[in-house]
Amino acid sequence: MNVALALKHLFCKEGCSIEHLDLADNSFGVDGAQALSSLLILCNDLNYLDLRDCLLIDEGIRLISDSLIAIVISLSPTQGVASIHGTCGYKTPGR
């Protein structure tokens, strides 16, 4: 099953709250990043995301980044953001 699809089923459960999400080494690429980015907007409690070695390339990283920015913007001033930690581990092709 596609990782993003599996997460969609998890996120759709009432009361689901994700704070730590480690998806390293899943290699879901840009298609998975697109699906994941639409789901991340539902994760207002997320404070750690690991996407190392997921073959996101620049487009996938942009999609995920846009979703994370939307989360931060949606937070109330009293919630704030202590920190958001994440890794993408991108290798430039041919290096």
This prediction's pTM:
0.68
Residue type, 3: V
Q: What are phi and psi of 20, to 5 degrees?
A: -130, 120
Structure tokens at 55: 């073959």
pLDDT (tens digit, 9 = 90+) per residue, 51-90?
888 888 899 999 998 988 887 787 766 665 555 555 555 4
Q: Is 36 helix (H, G, I), strand (E, B) or coil?
A: helix
Q: Are 60 and 90 in contact (CB under 8 A)?
A: no
CA dihedral 16→19→20→26, nearest 10 degrees, is 50
pLDDT in tens, 17-53: 778 888 888 888 888 888 888 888 777 777 788 888 8
Residue type, 25: D
